[in-house]
Structure 1
Amino acid sequence: MKFYPFVLTLLMLLSCGSQKQLTTARATSEKTKKMVNTESDKLDSIKMILDVKAGNHTIDSVLNNDVQRILDKLNGRLNSAQELALIMDMATKSRATFKKGINSSDILAKLIILDSFNTSQKRREEVYRMLKESVSTAKYQMFHYAAFFDPGVYRIPESAMPSIRSHFTPIIDSLSYLSNKYAGIAREARIVFVGYSDSTPVARSGQLYKELTGILNDDNPPQKLMNQLLSDLRAKEMVRNMKIVLGSNTEKFRNFNTLKVGYVAYGKGEEYPSPKITDYKSTDERRRIVLSYWTVLPQLEDL
């Protein structure tokens, strides 16, 4: 019969004398506290890397928030274990208090939880390694619209597919490397496209104007709003094509059917793409771009 570690702890505690039970409980609590301190430092180091990337705009707000939610959940688990260990410290200060807790099964239940936490350290360490590498190597790339879009449209023509494949394949190679390295962890590839536009007005006489006003349900929308919508539509078009390219490269991934893929696309309109560029102009091809960010993260719901 196979026994899990926490079941063995239960059997051992039930069979031991009170002094040995007390010693085991104290050792379990001490081990938990040491683990929590070590692992908290590792999560802090990941947070520092994340903050640097957010500060220099090499990770976008969506991925930043995704990683922060993961860190919050992991830190919450460590805090819970730490609190339980402190409760155990109080319960083991006197033999009488401890014996009462063991007899009522309250202390025993907490010990089993702590022991389960301690024995799952190896799994958590693998998640930390993945998260650190994912954040450290999270990449982004700038694409000029002219490489994909004809003037005055937000759909990528079929003739641009060879260019799309050549630009997107390196992204897929980067994703497959991380996904394959941590194939034993429930994981999600995150791909973000952020569209930008300059201040060039959409010609009222063109087909694009007609389509955008139809989407907005407004015959005379502000030009800034139209450029916002145009940047959003082009970002979403990039996602549509990324799905096509990824779908033809699934063989590069181990256990692709276990990999969750999340896409995000949004436009920022006439906002400046880079805070480091101070000489943007109203009509400026450096503003007619889409930025792509990508990485592979542990699945939040499975942590």
Structure 2
Amino acid sequence: MKFCSFILAFLILTSCGMQKRMTAARATSEKTQKMVHEESVKLDSIKKILDVKAADRAVDSVLNRDVLNILEKLGSRLNSAQQLALIMDMATRNKAAFRKGISSADLLKKLIILDSFNTAQKRREVVYRMLTESVSTAKYQLFHYAAFFDPGVYRIPESAIKSIRSHFTPIIDSISRISNKYAGIPREARIVFVGYSDSTPIVKNGQLYKELVRILDTNEPGQRQMNQLLSDLRAKEMVRNMKMVLNDNTGKFKNFNTLKIGYVAYGKGEEYPSPRIDDYKPTDERRRIVLSYWTVLPDLDDL
């Protein structure tokens, strides 16, 4: 693609008179500026959708940051193209400056970059559609610990594997649907588990207490500190099992070998899971939960 762009730019600037060369270069600049404007509007639209999803807790802070980073990188690429287009536009207003820039190959390099940017528009459109769909359909699933964990443990027993599969398979189906739709571009599935805990005390000197003390490497851990760790360990246990279920369902994906998968697990301890519930109790099963978030995003490192 870059070689073809170079040939095109070279032909434009060597096969016609100076005025025609300037006209062709100006047309390329104008085309780039129009694209940048239109695509900036699309990025702003995605950002607005993301803001609504974040406010509704349909995306967690990790996924929100991931999408914002992607939008920032895409916006930076648009800004770079815009700057080159403006330089080209200014150069075409002065024949002497334009001639000097062409003879030094400086403007030729910029024109090649602009032409490559313009040629890649369709590819970027696919990325924007994928981002819009991924953000618009972003969702989360709430799981109660009782469905997976026995009381006083942070490991999921073998007896709960059937339940794990039935709960996790719909998530994998949702991920595969978007991944397969955009199997032609580099992409990464993001799966996040966020654990919560209520304020139930952990029995001192019990087996769980001893394990948490060992992990924390302290003799007198606070209750909130222990519940923070417990929620974190349970979230990580959910990830471990999600990996197992996903490995059993790779056949649902197109080009699975090209799909990156990123897992994140963290605990929020005794924080309240929902700001909309104002009657939480210290001991409350509504607080003993884990939330799972997932989406599929374009991998800009390979685009």
Short-chain TM bin: over 0.9
8 Å Cα contact 2:9-2:108 kept in structure 1? no
1:190 corresponds to: 190
For 1:249 and 1:261, the matched residues in 2 are separated by 14
2:69 corresponds to: 69
For 2:253 and 2:117, the matched residues in 1 are separated by 31
2:244 corresponds to: 244
Secondary structure of the 1:297 match is: strand
Alignment of structure 1 residues 83-98 onto 2, 5 Å: 83-98=83-98
Shifted more, 241-250 versus 50-59: the winner is 50-59
1:171 aligns with 2:171: yes
| Equivalent AA in structure 1 for residue 229 of structure 2 | L
Note the alpha carbon deviations across 1:116-159, whole angstroms, 9 max, x for none: 10011000000000011011111101000000000000000001
1:293 corresponds to: 293
Alignment of structure 1 residues 44-193 onto 2, 5 Å: 44-193=44-193
Per-residue deviation, 1:188: 0.4
2:276 corresponds to: 276
Note the alpha carbon deviations across 1:182-205, whole angstroms, 9 max, x for none: 001100000000000000000013
Note the alpha carbon deviations across 1:7-37, whole angstroms, 9 max, x for none: 2222232222111100000100000000000
For 1:278 and 1:288, the matched residues in 2 are separated by 16
Note the alpha carbon deviations across 1:157-192, whole angstroms, 9 max, x for none: 001000000000000000000000000110000000
1:13 corresponds to: 13
Secondary structure of the 2:228 match is: helix
Secondary structure of the 1:193 match is: strand
Structure 1 runs not aligned, ≥5 long: none
For 2:79 and 2:35, the matched residues in 1 are separated by 11
| Equivalent AA in structure 1 for residue 300 of structure 2 | L
Secondary structure of the 2:262 match is: strand
Note the alpha carbon deviations across 1:18-64, whole angstroms, 9 max, x for none: 11100000100000000000000000000000011111111000000
| Equivalent AA in structure 2 for residue 56 of structure 1 | D
| Equivalent AA in structure 2 for residue 192 of structure 1 | V
8 Å Cα contact 2:5-2:112 kept in structure 1? no
Per-residue deviation, 1:3: 6.0
Per-residue deviation, 1:98: 1.0
- Normalised by the length of structure 2, the TM-score is 0.98
| Equivalent AA in structure 2 for residue 7 of structure 1 | I
For 1:288 and 1:282, the matched residues in 2 are separated by 11
Shifted more, 7-16 versus 176-185: the winner is 7-16
8 Å Cα contact 2:134-2:297 kept in structure 1? yes
For 2:91 and 2:12, the matched residues in 1 are separated by 19
Per-residue deviation, 1:219: 2.1
Percent identical pairs in the alignment equals: 76
For 1:261 and 1:131, the matched residues in 2 are separated by 16
Note the alpha carbon deviations across 1:61-113, whole angstroms, 9 max, x for none: 00000000100000000000111111111101121221111111111111111
2:217 corresponds to: 217
Q: Considering only aligned residues, what root-mean-square deviation do their CA atoms show, in Å?
A: 1.1
| Equivalent AA in structure 1 for residue 177 of structure 2 | Y
| Equivalent AA in structure 2 for residue 27 of structure 1 | A
For 2:21 and 2:60, the matched residues in 1 are separated by 51
For 1:6 and 1:81, the matched residues in 2 are separated by 16
1:201 corresponds to: 201
For 1:113 and 1:197, the matched residues in 2 are separated by 53
- How many residue pairs match? The answer is 302
1:25 corresponds to: 25
For 1:192 and 1:6, the matched residues in 2 are separated by 43
For 2:244 and 2:169, the matched residues in 1 are separated by 11
For 1:300 and 1:186, the matched residues in 2 are separated by 8
